[in-house]
Structure 1
């Protein structure tokens, strides 16, 4: 039987990748000052037995992985009209963040300098196959990743990358460093009932001043984790394709870079102990820093429709052709601070 996970060591670190979801974590980086840091998150239940009803994506949730198609459908009741009009119920075969996030990938043999995986999609899907290659940088604490999509027929799909980063326990002990961007959007409705802190369907242009749900002082969403239990999503548009998370408690900065032509938005999943149902149980503390071509991860029907983000000129789905496989590259690195 194919190994459930594989590890790879290099002169500046070590990493582990699992077949389920093709997820990468933990990754240990050795900094130039001699310290070892591990920026990617592993869910607290990742090594616990979970119910068979838990989807594949959650069973051993960890680190970083690609999603095709990105997102999942939610009910449109109670949403602002401009969103509700373009939202549809989930299809019977819909899986949270796509087939790639919920099933075991296969190892593809390679030399000892990289890990390669691939996954064939069901025959009914327009996607035929996805491939993933993970290459540590021999020169230092960094990993370069390549992701490819092969389709059977012409199609449009929302896609995304799903890096999830570990946060320190102390409120405000990490700082999200976005740089300049065009526009930020709060989630149009509520991610988790009773746990919202940001105003719904609002616009902002400073991550340090996001409108609050209670109408009070704006919230500095760059300082994490929050003092209150919450579950929130923010979508950022117009970034140059690079962002950083400074872990002030542990003294390092993790940098993520990507191709903004492929992923024109950045989705910030702020999971701050806000989900109390199993397996979350109010203990999940992390931030997803997710380059996407998607409207808040609301699933393929909404992504393909004339939704408010697409109407603003920001793509929420990409075109794919069987004659031209899609390939994108992105990079994770760390440095001391």
Structure 2
């Protein structure tokens, strides 16, 4: 069995068990079927046609997956984004509940000696996937991130929960013009997400995903102090929907945006990976060793790893959803309470949808 599909009323999710990626997600609402997650164009191509040194997680790149560590595995040997993104998971349980479905998966390998479980919950008539990951035992510390990816045919508009600032790393994703291109300035930062410095000396609006800008960019948004959930909302124009990604900022204090719009010319990307946006909520710097040592986020007071230990479990939660939307504008605000999500539009109009407002609680997390 290479995949497992779980269902509740109005929603289904398929897991690729070979690498633990969410291969598909379908939300049926108002007579429409929404598919918020991306699937790499080369997944169905013969393996021998792809570069032989690709990690399994890149070969099977889809939907969302757990990164542990995020980026370079330079403390414990593993591929890019760690074994949770690149190796098989077993099905521990998959069963109906009184109001939906719950499935538990376990990584066949251990991470820093810890057992890793993935718990997926669907609720009837909720257009959301509720995820939890649990690390049990182990030693040392681990950086983590979710890696949900969506894709657009004609771009979209973004909105976020309050952020302190946005910052790019020291080096761009594609510094060699013979291989690809990036547009943002590296390193740089801005407290105004609509005016981020570019390499050419101008500014770029991080809230506007434009298809006419061929680029491969990466920028980290640091959560501000506030009482609500951390959230990212993407209004996809051609798809006429709203993709929502939510977190508990105490658990996952940064949101990293990966803009992949034809900015890589080499295989397997080959200029065809277009309209893709990674919305990567994490507790991490770039690379495992950097996350455990001194780094720029720690100097800003931001935790970049979870401490592991025998007899200790660490958990963190995450939500992905989709709703129909006309007009192509992201909401001004997202709030959750009393079993509902309240979305406030730019014109002040309010929309309420079913949401488990108790889900994004603080896990038993020890920061590093």
Structure 1 residues 114-129: aligned runs within 5 Å = 114-122=102-110, 126-129=112-115
Q: 1:251 & 1:306 partners in 2: Cα distance?
A: 43
Residue 92 of structure 1 deviates from its aligned partner by 8.1
- The question of whether the paired residues in 2 share the 8 Å contact of 1:71 and 1:294 is answered with no
Q: 2:217 & 2:91 partners in 1: Cα distance?
A: 35
- The question of whether the paired residues in 2 share the 8 Å contact of 1:66 and 1:101 is answered with yes
- CA-based RMSD of the aligned residues comes to 1.7
Task: Determine which of 288, 304, 321 is the counterpart of 1:333.
Answer: 321
CA distances 1:133-152 after superposition (whole Å, capped 9, x unpaired): 11112132211111111232
In the alignment, which residue of structure 2 is the partner of 1:83? none
Task: Determine which of 241, 262, 279 is the counterpart of 1:289.
Answer: 279
Structure 1 residues 1-337: aligned runs within 5 Å = 3-31=1-29, 33-50=30-47, 51=50, 52-72=52-72, 90=74, 93-112=77-96, 113-122=101-110, 126-153=112-139, 155-168=140-153, 170=154, 173-193=155-175, 194=177, 195-216=181-202, 218-239=203-224, 240-285=229-274, 286-295=276-285, 298-337=286-325
Residue 159 of structure 1 deviates from its aligned partner by 0.8
Q: 2:10 & 2:78 partners in 1: Cα distance?
A: 39
In the alignment, which residue of structure 2 is the partner of 1:82? none
Residue 247 of structure 1 deviates from its aligned partner by 0.9
Residue 129 of structure 1 deviates from its aligned partner by 1.3
Question: Higher strand proportion, which one?
Answer: 2
Structure 1: segments with no counterpart, 5+ residues: 74-89
**1:143–1:91 CA distance, 2 compared to 1 (3 A):** closer
**3-state DSSP of counterpart to 2:196:** coil
Structure 2: segments with no counterpart, 5+ residues: 326-368
- The question of whether the paired residues in 1 share the 8 Å contact of 2:255 and 2:279 is answered with yes
Residue 14 of structure 1 deviates from its aligned partner by 2.1
Residue 302 of structure 1 deviates from its aligned partner by 1.2
What TM-score comes out, normalization by structure 1 length? 0.87
Q: 2:315 & 2:112 partners in 1: Cα distance?
A: 17
Number of equivalenced pairs: 309
**1:92–1:110 CA distance, 2 compared to 1 (3 A):** closer
**1:289–1:5 CA distance, 2 compared to 1 (3 A):** same
- The question of whether the paired residues in 2 share the 8 Å contact of 1:207 and 1:222 is answered with yes
- The question of whether the paired residues in 1 share the 8 Å contact of 2:90 and 2:105 is answered with yes
- The question of whether the paired residues in 2 share the 8 Å contact of 1:181 and 1:236 is answered with yes
- The question of whether the paired residues in 1 share the 8 Å contact of 2:131 and 2:317 is answered with yes
Residue 289 of structure 1 deviates from its aligned partner by 0.2
Residue 225 of structure 1 deviates from its aligned partner by 3.6
Q: 1:277 & 1:107 partners in 2: Cα distance?
A: 36
- The question of whether the paired residues in 2 share the 8 Å contact of 1:235 and 1:268 is answered with yes
Q: 1:305 & 1:226 partners in 2: Cα distance?
A: 37
**1:29–1:92 CA distance, 2 compared to 1 (3 A):** closer
